[in-house]
Amino acid sequence: MARKKRIQADKSDLHVSDFGNIEIPDLDLSLFDVLNDGYDEETRYTKPKVYDLKSDYVLYDNAVKLAQELRLGFGERADVFVSGNFIFGDFIEAYIVGNNAKCRKMTISTLSLSQNNVDSLYNLLANGYIDELNLVVSVYFWGNEIRSFIPYIYRKLDFGNKFQLSVASIHTKTAQFETLGGRKIVIHGSANLRSSGNIEQFTIEENPELYDFYDEHFSRIVEKYATIRKPIRGTSLWSELVKKRFND
């Protein structure tokens, strides 16, 4: 059984039991006046507390801090709460670089992502930290960004035959990678690659069985919904030719 750790993204500003520091846009609080009508006694319904998001535990510095503090042994797991402005994609880069990990393969699924996330993934590819990167995005994201941000993703990440972009009806937020040292890491939770303005959580664990489960199913999604046609080379090409010959 995996050993568990519980971590708060910034101990001075974020408390696991206090989720009041959220932003609620355009909330019509007149609902609570309606609910209170006709009651002489104190109502059971209360208005949500609305706070401004703090800026002192957000963005890249704290992703680096968490990545530096987080150390997983074999079979260990950590459960993490983070600020809504914590950028999950930055944490992935910081964790890989900080551990000097060489990834044979990394697969990420996300509802959405930002240019900053793409630049972060480019850094990992260009500097040799990842041999193969698969990115699965939602149909919703594709439809909204097809003429603007999607071309940037192709231009930035599609080099050296290392990258695949797949589009599917997903709402998953996962990242899994296998290192040259044989470690299989899975990260899963509520956080997309970019910030959301909400409190998020994710779990990171060194778990070969879970990695294999994720890899099996996401590999099918990547293959079926791939948007980049990759050339067949070397022994793979010969295998395809032989298979075609005998099938004919």
Q: Is residue 245 part of a domain?
A: no
Least confident of 4-18, 22-36, 72-86, 210-224: 4-18
31 occurs within a structural domain: no
Q: Answer yes or no: is 38 within a domain.
A: no
The whole-number pLDDT of residue 143 equals: 94
Q: What is the pLDDT of residue 13?
A: 41
Supply the pLDDT for residue 65: 79
Residues 6+ apart with CB under 8 A from 168: 136, 138, 139, 221, 224, 225
User: Domain of 162?
Assistant: 3-8+54-229
Distance CA 67, CA 65 (A): 5
What digits encode the pLDDT tens for the residues 44-59? 666 665 544 443 333 3
What whole-number distance in Å separates Cα of residue 189 and Cα of residue 247? 44
Residue 39 domain-assigned?
A: no
The region, left, alpha or beta by phi > 0 then psi within -120 to 50, assigned to residue 75 is left
Number of domains forming the structure of the chain = 1
203 backbone dihedrals φ, ψ, rounded to 5°: -120, 135
Considering the domain boundaries, does residue 69 fall inside one? yes
What backbone phi and psi angles, to 5 degrees, belong to 175? -150, 130
User: Is 96 a domain residue?
Assistant: yes
Which tens digit of pLDDT belongs to each residue from 87-112? 888 889 999 999 899 999 999 999 99
Residue 140 has pLDDT above 90, yes or no: yes
CA distance 136 to 145: 14
> Does the model's pTM come out above 0.85?
no
- Residue 236 lies inside a defined structural domain of this protein: no
pLDDT at position 43 is 59
What pLDDT is stored for residue 5 in this prediction?
Answer: 57
Tell me, what CATH number does 60's domain have?
3.30.870.10
In a domain, 41, yes or no: no
SS3 for 111-171, per residue? CCCCHHHHHHHHHHHHCCCECCEEEEEEHHHHHHHCCCHHHHHHHHHCCCCCEEEEEECCC
